[in-house]
Structure 1
Amino acid sequence: MDLLAQVLANGILLGGLYAVMALGLALVWGVLNIVNLAHGSFIMLGAYCSWHLFHYLHIDPFLGLPITAVLMFVLGYGVQRGLLNLIVRAPMFNTLLLTFGLDVVLTYLAQLAFSADFRAINPAYAGNQVHWGPMVLPVVRLGAFAVALALTFGMWLFLLHTRLGRAIRATAQNLVAARLHGVEPRHLYALTFAIGIALAGTAGGLYGTVSQINPYIGASLTLKSFAIAIIGGLDNPLGVLVGGLFLGVVEALTTLYVGPTFVDVASFGILALVLIVRPTGLLGRTA
């Protein structure tokens, strides 16, 4: 029983990180209708940004997250305004091709800039743990989980209760009506994509504290984010959180009872089941 409790706790903490990884992808996909295949590469760039802030400027990885988010926001705004706005309402195949090419470019530029060596963000408290009953909880993972909760609920409140958030939701629901109410789509699309990339960069900073990073982690992170966004639902940040927690627990239980080799089988098996039973996601709105 103690082992099961520990495994479930590990799965929940991992699921919080998964949720942050998928938030940006779900936002961009839901509003811009762009399946960003370069999403994992932006997470990777955020991880390297946090690593440089920690390694060279000695900024705590959690305190450096706002800096990483701002830098990634600027990058995301430029990419959307200068490149992706050209195909934002094009057929899905065009956006897939462009973002796939962007993913390849970012991956190889990262390899040239940072080499293919594995790196990790290891603050002085990286080995500290909190004992809660029979469970041992790493401090770094607890911190990442707390940031995940804060970002998810913050994004939910932002979309519901701010002027920009309401404009983003209105554009996602009805572009023509949003135009009639004074929304300028090109600028709003760029802001939306920039927010999504800022979230991806933040997820990368958190990922670097709990796992090793290299230029080639992007593809697997994109697939994981894609699965979580679909399982939770694209139109609800809380759904993404639920999807991330659900997937984290499923993977933890699969590792315990079946073996780590079958983790991806379980993850994408759950994805297929959700697509069959509830295509809008666990908390997505039905038609």
Structure 2
Amino acid sequence: MVFQVLLNGIFLGAIYANIAVGFSLAWGVMDVINVTHGTLIVIGSFITFFLFKFAGLDPFLSIPVSMLVLFLIGYATQKYLLNLVVKVGIFLSLILTFGLDLVLINVVLLIFTGDYRSVTPSYSGTNFQLGGITIPYIRLATLGICVLLTILLQLFLTKTKTGNAIRATSQNRQAAEIVGVNVAQVYSITLGVSAALAGACGSLISMVQSFTPFEGGFFIMKAFIICVLGGLGNVLGAIIGGLLLGMVETMGARILGTGFQEAISAIIMILVLIFMPKGIVGSKYK
């Protein structure tokens, strides 16, 4: 039973980590708290829902479509809106993304209504047994895709010219500009990549739980808690924090009941802010 709970925690933690990685990337590179990140995840879920219901496309095959659409949304948002205010300070960009989030929520609500939706392919209820542990195929595939996305992101950031420019800008924007890096373009690509990861996450979430246009607040709350736990603006910290939060929530829900699951997240964030303000990996909030 303990191993089953731990495995469920790993499955949940992988999704949490995937939620937080894109959010943390934008925060770390641009010092922007992108409030729209949660709603971008919801949009990814609705893209998968639309393609599954009306085009008969397997939900896993819709992931590249969600990523492409969300990349374009993120890129355009940064290029035409956030780049105008990103140098002014974090507060103004926070207000701008908050307003944009309200617009996106209402657009999704107008198109899809506020009903609960879910994506249930024919294999959604299938699983296999391993040593007395039940492993759902969709959860296992979701875990594998989360790991793959993390590896691809790491390769992109460390093995490509654009990725190196992103890391250089994150470390020292002024120095990056001096050596010829187009910082505005780097910011646009960064938010595009962040949004693409949100789209992939939304596609995966659509297969494991129901959703509405209003789920974005829940996702952004989880992303923020994970970033506080792992370290603000740190991608590695987001991965570690997501996995830890998933396992702690699952174990806590098993012991105390599911009604305490969200309280556990809040308590963890408060304790980390008091005793470990730098998080597991990262820097202290200023």
Give the TM-score range, shorter chain.
Answer: over 0.9
- Does the 8 A contact of 2:119 with 2:206 survive in 1? yes
**1:122 counterpart = 2:112:** no
- Shifted more, 276-285 versus 238-247: the winner is 276-285
Matches within 5 A, 1:252-267: 252-267=250-265
The SS at the match of 1:210 is: coil
Query: How far apart are residue 285 of structure 1 and its match?
Result: 6.3
The answer for the alignment partner of 1:154 in structure 2 is: 152
Once the two structures are superposed, what CA deviation does each residue of 1:111-134 show, in whole Å capped at 9, x if it has no partner?
Answer: 111001111111111001021112
Deviations 1:213-245 (A, max 9, x none): 110000011000111122123454333221111
Q: Do structure 1's residue 18 and structure 2's residue 16 form an aligned pair?
A: yes
1:201-212 alignment runs, 5 A limit = 201-212=199-210
Task: Give the conservation status (yes or no) of the 8 Å contact 1:153–1:238.
Answer: no
Distance 2:136 2:179 in 1: 49
Report the equivalent of 1:36: 34
Matched with 1:7 is 5
- Structure 1 residue 146: deviation in Å? 0.7
The match for 1:57 is 55
Superposition RMSD on alpha carbons, in Å? 1.6
Q: How far apart in 1 are the matches of 2:208 and 2:159?
A: 33
Quickly say closer, same or farther: Cα 1:235–1:35, change in 2 above 3 A: closer
Residue segments in structure 1 that go unaligned for 5+ positions in a row? none
Map 1:36-185 → 2, pairs under 5 A: 36-185=34-183
TM-score normalised per structure 2: 0.95
Amino acid paired to 1:273:
L
TM-score by length of 1: 0.95
Select 1:251's aligned residue among 240, 249, 252. 249
SS in structure 2 at match of 1:56: helix
Give how far 1:22 is off.
0.8
Q: Please, which runs of 5 or more residues in structure 2 have no aligned partner?
A: none
**Does the Cα contact within 8 Å between 2:28 and 2:234 map onto a contact in 1?**
no
Q: Deviations over 1:114-171 (max 9, x none)?
A: 0011111111110010211121011111111111111112212222222111111110
1:66 match: secondary structure: helix
Distance 1:14 1:239 in 2: 16
1:239 equivalent to 2:237? Answer yes
Aligned length in residues? 285
Question: Cα distance, 1:283 vs. partner?
Answer: 2.7
Moved more, 151-160 or 46-55: 151-160
State the AA in 2 paired with 1:228. I
Q: Deviations over 1:185-226 (max 9, x none)?
A: 111110000000000011000010001011000001100011
Tell me, in whole angstroms, the C-alpha distance in 2 between the residues paired with 1:224 and 1:236.
15
